[in-house]
Amino acid sequence: MKTTMAAMTLGVVLGGATILQAQGQAGRTVTVDLNKVFTEYYKTPIASGKLKDTAEQYNKEHEEMLAQYRKQVDELSKLREEQDKTEYTQEVRDQKKKAFQEKLAETQKSQKDIEEFRNSHRQILDQQTQRMRQGILKEINDIIIKEARDAGYAFVFDKSGNSFNQVPIIVYSQDAADITDEIVKILNKNKPADLPKTEAKPDEKKSDKPADKK
C-alpha cells in the first residue's frame, strides 16, 4: 500500500513538473533576427543572382546605346564644322546644313531613348527586387508564425529592426529567447545540395549619363 501511494505521489509530482514546463514554454516572448534569416535563407542568394543577371543585361544594352549615341555626337560635331566652310559651294553647304539638322534630330531622339530606357528599366528592376523581397519575407513570416503557434509563444519580436529614432527596438534579450537559428534551419531543410555560389546582393553597375550636346 505504501509502495502504491509513493508511486502515485511520484506520478503527481512528475506530471505537475511537465505541466509547469509546458506552461513556461507557452506564453513566452521570443526574438528573431529577420535580417540574418533573410540573408541565410538559401532562396535569397538565388533570387539575388537572377536580379544581378537581369541588371547586367540591362547595363549591357545601355552601354551599347551610349556607344551609338557618342558616335552620333561625333558625327554631329563634324557636320557642324563643315556646314559653314567657305571652301564649299553654297549648294554643298546647304546639303551639309540639311545633314546636320537630320543628324541633330537623330541624336536628340537617341538621347531621349536612352533616358526612357534608363528610367523604365530601373523601375522594372526595382519592382522585381521588391517582389522578390516580399515573396521571401512572406515565406519567412509564415514559418515564424507556424512555429510560434506550435510552441505557444505569446510574442515574436524582430530584434534587427530600429525605431523611428534609429535605435534598436529590442534593447536587450537573452540568447535563450532567440529563435533565429531554429528558423534558418527549418527554412533550409530542403536546400539543394548542388547550389552554385552566388552573392546575397546584386551589384548595381552605374553608367554615365549621355554627354550634353553643345
pLDDT digit string (tens) for 90-112? 888 888 889 989 999 999 999 99
Q: Please give the single-letter amino acid code of residue 170.
A: I
**Whether the Cβ atoms of residue 100 and residue 135 lie closer than 8 Å to each other:** no
pTM, 2 dp: 0.66
pLDDT bracket for residue 168 (50, 70, 90): confident
Residues above pLDDT 70, as percent of the chain = 78
The DSSP-derived string for 88-149 is: S-HHHHHHHHHHHHHHHHHHHHHHHHHHHHHHHHHHHHHHHHHHHHHHHHHHHHHHHHHHHH
What mean pLDDT is predicted for residues 144-148?
95
Q: What stretches of 26-42 show up as alpha helix (H) in DSSP?
A: 34-40
The x, y and z cell numbers of residue 144, run together, are 515564424
- φ and ψ at residue 189, rounded to 5 degrees: -70, -25
Helix H or strand E segment including 32: strand 29-32
pLDDT bracket for residue 86 (50, 70, 90): confident
**Whether the Cβ atoms of residue 30 and residue 153 lie closer than 8 Å to each other:** yes
- In tens, the pLDDT along 21-52 reads 344 455 789 999 999 999 999 999 999 999 99
Half-sphere exposure of 20 (CA within 13 A, CB side): 6
